Structure 1
Amino acid sequence: MNTPKPAHAGMTQFAVDGGELLVGGVPLARLAARVGRTPFYAYDRAQLTARVREVRAHLPAAVGLHFSVKANPMPALVQHMAGLVDGLDVASAGELKTALDTGVDPVRISFAGPGKTEAELRQAIAAGVTLNVESPGEIDRAARIGDALGIAPRVVVRVNPDFELKGSGMRMGGGAKPFGIDAEQVPACLRQLDGLGIALQGFHIFSGSQSLKADAIADSHTRSVELALQLAADARGPVAGVYLGAGFGIPYFPGEQRLDLAPIGANLEQCVARLAAAMPGTRLSLESGRYLVGEAGVYVARVTDRKVSRGQVFLVTDGGLHHHLAASGNFGQVIRKNYPAAIGNRMAAEGERETVSVVGPLCTPLDVLAERMELARADVGDLVVVFQSGAYGLSASPTAFLGHPAPLEVLV
């Protein structure tokens, strides 16, 4: 058994045996036969477990670790993750049902996101999960629904800080945002909660995600803890928790380096000590999604045709943009780069290789999974694998586009 040619960091998570990719220890062709059809997503449970273990090894023991379900809401995967982490974060009634179905104590589930409907607020309060409130209006609605149900809502105030995570792929804080309550408005919201008789459970501060810069992440964590301490001065009672978006990113493209967790963990030790000195009994927790599951998943599509157009080889597959929007370039909204990919049943180091473009069956030139990429020579029936596909894959893609069947998902 060996590992793939290390052309990209995202491929080295998976082993190869006999020239064939292994997912969950199962050869890819055998796995495809078990699934019954292509395309499909496959998630490696051993890798999920190992990634959580790796993160915990770098975090102070006092820091909690929560999984953001929006990264991958596949029920079997969420069930597996629920047994590994300290809490689940959801962003819709559908995700809430998935989280509750795991049997996790509702207190360990938090519900974030702007624009929660009346029905979602009612379900969350009735279930006893923690609401991350994102506006004064949402606070009023939660209080009214709680009164009607005779249940005191569990409330964490989501804060929009006045800073962002530098170098992040997605900026969630700083400036005008639909997410959270501006830090300068939080004192008024704490008085609002007091007036409504709702006890504050803590603060949730999320400044950005998908960062590969440890120093920027550490700085964001430090500033977030300091902000929480400032805001706690206006809280009437003790603050049970401070919840931070981890911001951890994974490498998708050539040249990107893996995130070094060691300096982040060392900085968190200082954050924990700062909290313990100023607010004894307050627990610090990190919420992560992509980093925990992103590298443990692959997307698999079968080559249905091989054609040459004016000297360029095209491998046409039964999957594409409608199943894996991010790998295709998000409808052309970003400068497209290739995710790591391979011909999963032809992974031997030796053998013929060629430069090809891998495309899907959709009637749009945007339906591209790999563009002018060097891969093993493939023909009809071979299996194309797109790595780094465990997060924001199927659930973040336009599966209804052009009416093709949705892919399957398996946890191996």
Structure 2
Amino acid sequence: MKPSINIPTTSLQDYLSTCSELCVGNHPLKHIEKLVSRTPFYAYDRQLIINRVLQLTNTLPKEISLHYAIKANPYPSLVQLMAAQVSGFDVASKKEMLLAIQTGMPAEKISFAGPGKTAEDIEAAIIAGVTLHVESSGEIAKVKLAANQLKLKANIAIRVNPKFELKSSGMKMSGGAKPFGIDEEQIPQILIDLPLEQINLRGFHIFAGSQNLNADAIISAQQQTFALAEHLVELTKQITTVKIDYLNIGGGFGVPYFANEQALDVGAIADNLQALINQYKTLVTGLDLILELGRYLVAEAGIYVCKVVDKKVSRGTNYLVCDGGLHHHLANSGNFGQVIRKNYPVVIGNKLNHNERELEQVNIVGPLCTPLDILADKIMLPKASLGDYIVVFQSGAYGASASPKDFLSQPQVSEVLL
């Protein structure tokens, strides 16, 4: 066993200058392969996740409750770890809700979002006591019916589709016509019609977008979010007898995946949040003020690892063929929202200390019978051998669970938290 390596405070890429073989949780790749019995696998570094959460909570205002969006990575061991690090969970399915509850997280700290919730989803959420983020008048009607049948009161927050959008966002979730949330101009009538005998209105969820590296854009969206929230809370007072105790301001924090991308300036966002809290002191007093993040907390703490199983040259192009690919890591293949495919950070995990003169340009592909199965395109790497480990960084979020794992009936991918 090689000497242990200090855990970095940011991402697994920091290991590049410290060892010849990449390690996760102080375990080299060859040992991790033996632990999980095969490649391909995902490996997540628990200490990096803890460090990221601590760094963030120490930066954010004390009034902010940090919630983890389980959809980013629902690996059960990772979710259990998160339960001890964050103040609550956001879930997007009944299965995620059951996972969240079984960590011991209090039900009032769990929210259930997403359009198209089934009657079964809604009944389960009411029984569990979690907060449903309702996304349409039709969904409110379903909640009323389920609460009546169960003879239980449902906890809800109204997800609002604001008129503004989160500029520079990888995925825009607000502004214009959207399947998410209720248009802000419809909220007065929604409040008038709200069946308060069956429903406990806790507050509002205003989520504008995700994967954003532009601090100014996030700051602008948060300023508009607080202004809208103040208006909605005042409107609620005028129309109902409800006292709001819940405001989820969404998240949107991105991580750098591609060349020339810069890490998000969280300090500037935190300063702006503190200024907003001071400005809207009357609004936030007594509120559970929630910042909901997924990708930002886990993406940089995970890697995807597969093995070179063949090498070939086709009309002057060098190919490395691996035992893993898009069926395990759809986002890295470029088929999960990229308009123009770009390479994630990729290395040969057992050849980190290499000589620059030994580099060669290669295309790295997977085992699938499709030209879409790309791990890296025209990338400079040390000369590879059969059995070398291909490592894709920034793979802790939207990896295994966001990929077509049964495509072409290939072997399943393993996951491990170390």
Calculate the TM-score normalised by the size of structure 1: 0.95
Tell me if structure 1 keeps the 8 A contact 2:333–2:341. Answer: yes
5+ unaligned residues in a row in structure 2: which ranges?
Answer: none
SS in 1 for 2:42: strand
Q: CA deviation at 1:323?
A: 0.7
How far does residue 173 in structure 1 lie from its aligned partner after superposition? 0.6
Using a 3 Å threshold, how does the CA distance of structure 1 residues 84 and 359 change in structure 2: closer, same or farther? same
Partner amino acid for 2:383? R
Task: Tell me the residue number matched to 1:12.
Answer: 13
Among residues 237, 258, 261, which one is paired with 1:253 in the alignment? 258
Q: Residue 279 of structure 1: CA displacement?
A: 5.0
The offset of 1:18, in angstroms, is 4.1
Q: Which residue of 2 aligns with 1:271?
A: 276
Query: What corresponds to 1:373 in structure 2?
Result: 379
Code of the residue aligned with 2:321 in structure 1: it is: V
Q: Which stretch shows the higher mean deviation, 112-121 or 375-384?
A: 375-384
AA partner of residue 92 (structure 1): S
Instruction: Output the CA distance in 1 between the equivalents of 2:63 and 2:112.
Output: 23
Give the match for residue 180 of structure 1: 181
Inter-partner Cα distance in structure 1 for 2:43 and 2:18: 18
Is the partner of 1:249 in helix, strand or coil? coil
Alpha carbons of 1:274 and 1:150: their partners in 2 closer, same or farther (altered >3 Å)?
A: farther
Matched with 1:387 is 393
Moved more, 267-276 or 334-343: 267-276
The amino acid of 1:311's aligned partner reads G
Deviation at residue 15 of structure 1 after TM alignment: 5.5
Q: Any idea what SS the aligned residue of 1:232 has? A: helix
Separation of aligned partners in 2, 1:32 and 1:286: 36
> How big is the shift at 1:191?
1.8
The 10-residue stretch of structure 1 (93-102 or 61-70) with the greater mean CA deviation from structure 2: 93-102
**Separation in 1, partners of 2:258, 2:206:** 28
- Letter aligned with residue 383 of structure 1: Y
Give the CA deviation at 1:12. 2.9
Aligned to 1:311: 316
Residue 208 of structure 2: aligned partner: 207
Residue equivalent to 1:340: 345
Matches within 5 A, 1:34-73: 34-73=35-74
Provide the rounded CA distance (Å) in 2 between the counterparts of 1:320 and 1:124. 36
Which aligned pairs between 1:324-335 and structure 2 lie closer than 5 A?
Answer: 324-330=329-335, 334-335=339-340
Q: 1:151 to 1:310 in 2, by over 3 A?
A: same
Letter in 2 for 1:67: Y
The structure-2 alpha-carbon separation of the partners of 1:331 and 1:191, relative to structure 1 and needing over 3 Å to count, comes to closer
Correspondence for 2:292 among 287, 292, 300? 287
More deviation, 396-405/268-277: 268-277
Shift of 1:119: 0.4
**Distance in 2 (alpha carbons) for counterparts of 1:357 and 1:253:** 17
Deviation of 1:239 after TM superposition, in Å, equals 1.1
Output aligned runs, 1:27-106, within 5 Å: 27-106=28-107
Q: Within 5 Å, which residues of 2 pair with 1:55-204?
A: 55-194=56-195, 196-204=197-205
Cα pair 1:332 1:366 within 8 Å, conserved? no
What CA distance in whole angstroms lies between the structure 1 residues aligned with 2:184 and 2:383?
55
1:382 counterpart letter in structure 2: D
Partner of 2:252: helix, strand, or coil? Answer: coil
Contact 2:152/2:198, CA 8 A, preserved across alignment? no
Asked if 1 retains the 8 angstrom alpha-carbon contact of 2:126 and 2:147, the reply is: yes
Partner of 1:6: none
Instruction: Give the drift of 1:331.
Output: 7.0
Q: Is the 8 A contact 2:13 2:393 kept in 1?
A: no
Residue identity matched to 2:325: G
Counterpart amino acid of 2:228? L
- How far did residue 176 of structure 1 move? 0.3
What do residues 251-293 of structure 1 show as CA deviations (whole Å, max 9, x unaligned)? 0000000001111000100222233224531232100000001
CA separation in 1, counterparts of 2:117 and 2:94? 9
- The answer on whether the counterparts of 2:346 and 2:392 sit within 8 Å (CA) in structure 1 is yes
Partner of 1:221: 222
Which of 16-25 and 256-265 deviates more? Answer: 16-25
Q: For residues 256 and 222 of structure 2, what CA distance do their matches in structure 1 show? A: 21
Contact 2:144–2:195 (CA under 8 A) maintained in structure 1: no
Inter-partner Cα distance in structure 1 for 2:283 and 2:310:
64
Alignment of 1:400 onto 2:406: yes
Residue 350 of structure 1, CA deviation: 3.0
Contact 2:11 2:301 in 1 (8 A): no
Once the two structures are superposed, residues 117-170 of structure 1 have per-residue CA deviations (whole angstroms, 9 ceiling, x without a partner) of 000101110011110000111111111111211210011000001011010000
What is the DSSP-based 3-state SS (H/G/I as helix, E as strand, rest coil) of the residue aligned with 1:323?
Answer: coil
1:321 aligned partner, one-letter code: L
Contact 2:161-2:178 at 8 Å conserved across structures:
yes
1:188 deviates by 1.3
Does structure 2 retain, via aligned residues, the 8 Å contact 1:71–1:290?
yes
Deviates more, 1:310-319 or 1:329-338: 329-338
Alignment length, in residue pairs? 407
Distance 1:11 1:195, change over 3 A: closer
- TM-fit CA distance, 1:332: 8.8
Q: Which runs of 5+ in 1 are unaligned?
A: 4-8
Give the match's secondary structure for 1:42. strand
Q: Report the CA distance between 1:197 and its aligned residue.
A: 4.7
SS in 2 for 1:233: helix
Deviation at 1:31, TM superposition (A): 1.2
Structure 1 residues 84 and 279: alpha-carbon distance in aligned structure 2, compared to 1, 3 A threshold: closer
Q: Give every structure 1 segment of 4 or more consecutive aligned residues whose post-TM-superposition deviation is greater than 6 Å.
A: none
Look up the SS of the partner of 1:203 in the other structure: strand
1:375 shift after superposition: 1.1
Identity %: 51
